[in-house]
Amino acid sequence: MFKGILISKDEAGYRAAIEEINEAQLPEGDVTIRVSHSTLNYKDGLAITGKGPVVRRFPMVPGIDLVGEVEESSHADYKPGDKVLLNGWGVGETHWGGLAQKARLKGDWLVPLPAAFTPQQAMAIGTAGYTAMLCVMALERHGLRPQDGEVLVTGAAGGVGGVAVALLAKLGFTVIATSGRPEETNYIKGLGATDVLPRADFTSPGKPLGKERWAAAIDVVGSHTLANICATTKYRGIVAACGLAGGMDLPASVAPFILRNVTLQGIDSVMCPRAERIEAWQRLARDLDPAILTTLATEISLAEAIPSAEKLMAGQLRGRVIVDVNR
């Protein structure tokens, strides 16, 4: 038996609870892992609270991230004792995830834990941080250089936004952040932002084109915010869109794309090919100051994950949340 969060949906409704789970119930997979830590991402918040249709099968163990040690493996690349991490691939949505003491998965989904990180540091980064890195890599592929001008990052008091600010600042970019939480201005500046603008400056319907300001942007919000960012991005600039914290819609015009040659680059971490994941984790080991992870992350127990998911959805959690599944 092992302990985990189980999400159920039946006549009694949608609910998440800590349960004792029989190992025989673990799903199919060629690697069994003793999980040490998982995390709470926005998607885990949606899954645990039921506020979004993230869970596709019931019962489900949530947790789109995990780190731990291989217990059993029939996969050629992994043997018992290996330290591994996992982000995405539908884990915590269609396949049992990381918010439990054990997981069984496809070895092809795993990434060896980079030597640069402790298990806790890897989860302080988690899917949010790895997605922030994918966004930065997209800006670089576009040819963005620090001398091109200011880079905007939205939702900076959250997970993706916080890591994106820290990465860009360390790489020498001038980062302007947005946040709906003025009380977190010092925290966001501590991550490396030069200035923090109010979230409300971006959330109302705007004009098809505005004054050109951003050389590039990383957006976790979507909706009017993303439309307004595209409208104020400089000629030949790029916007990496990875989130929907403000809405799934995109009430924009084509003006920035056809008159300013702006690129709107979508970012998906879930099905991202293995080679790019490994590159992203190598880049995180190189370009993220590990000391910043202490500022960015807080650690909670498995039991605290359920009430914390409600707080995350209410926008009351800052940065990243690591879950010690054995506490």
Give the footprint of ligand NDP on this chain (CB under 6 A).
41-43, 127-128, 131, 155-161, 179-181, 199, 203, 220-221, 242-246, 267-270, 312, 315
Give the residue with the Cβ less far from ligand NDP, 31 or 321.
Answer: 321
String of DSSP letters for 289-317: -HHHHHHHEEEEEHHHHHHHHHHHHTT--
What is d(CA 201, CA 80) in angstroms, rounded to the nearest whole number? 52
Q: Nearest approach, Cβ of 246 to ligand NDP (angstroms)?
A: 3
**DSSP codes joined into one string, 136-151:** HHHHHHTT--GGG--E
Smallest distance, ligand NDP to C-beta of residue 235, A: 26
Q: How far is the CB of 90 from ligand NDP (least distance, A)?
A: 12
Residue 105 or residue 188: which is nearer to ligand NDP going by CB? 188
Name, in order, each residue with C-beta under 8 angstroms of 44's C-beta and a sequence gap of 6 or more: 62, 63, 64, 92, 99, 305, 309, 312
Query: Nearer to ligand NDP by C-beta: 35 or 135?
Result: 135
Nearest residue to ligand NDP, scored by beta-carbon proximity: 158
Distance CA 153, CA 6 (A): 34
Closest contact distance (angstroms) between CB of 303 and ligand NDP is 21
Which CB atom, from 31 or from 280, has the smaller least distance to ligand NDP? 280
Q: What is the DSSP letter of 109?
A: G
Query: Using CA atoms, how far apart are residues 46 and 12, in angstroms rounded to an integer?
Result: 19
Nearer Cβ to ligand NDP (21/229): 229
* 79 CB neighbour count, 10 Å cutoff: 11
Q: Find residue 272's DSSP bridge partners.
A: none
Q: How far is the CB of 154 from ligand NDP (least distance, A)?
A: 7
Give the Cα separation of 187 and 154 in Å (integer).
14
When the beta carbons of 60 and 267 are compared against ligand NDP, the nearer one is 267
**Minimum distance from CB of 111 to ligand NDP (Å)?**
15
